[in-house]
Amino acid sequence: MSELPARPPAAALPTAAAGARPSVIQLVFREKGALYAAYIPMFSDGGLFVPTNRDYRLGEDIYLLLSLPDDPQRYPVAGKVGWITPANASGGRTQGVGVRFPPDEKHRLIKLKIEELLGTMISSAKPTQTL
């Protein structure tokens, strides 16, 4: 009977460095069309696609400083990576990550603000950076 090779110990698997700080990305939308292309309504709590060539893992913490069209306020978003579009993705899609909003009241209000800005565009068949 042959023995299966041992799995590497968990410590040998790639993980974030202890105490590593999550990324902070400034995300500015000047036009509704760009916001539409980045919004991810399939995330129940909302989310946004962030173009980046940095490697992220699903579930990794990521902080956004979000600016919406015609709104001088910047909204801090403490999200998690819930979508990854790798480099050289099919269909010429932009490399980046989808940031899932947390399920709390503050982020629910940001989701509602985005959906209000987009209005009927949300139900458009126009392609986006996600699905």
d(CA 75, CA 68): 8
22, 60 contact by CB (below 8 A): yes
The whole-number pLDDT of residue 9 equals: 35
Question: For residue range 18-50, what is the model confidence (pLDDT) as tens digits?
Answer: 445 677 899 999 999 999 989 998 899 999 999
Question: Whole-number mean pLDDT of the chain?
Answer: 81
pTM for the full model?
0.76
Q: Please, what are the domains in the chain?
A: 24-122 (2.40.10.220)
Instruction: Name the 3-class secondary structure at 35.
Output: helix
Arithmetic mean of pLDDT, 99-110: 95
Arithmetic mean of pLDDT, 50-77: 94
**For residue 101, how many C-alpha atoms fall within 13 Å in the half-sphere facing its CB?**
26
How many residues appear in the chain? 131
Q: Which two tokens stand for residue 51?
A: 């173009």
The whole-number pLDDT of residue 124 equals: 62
Arithmetic mean of pLDDT, 87-106: 90
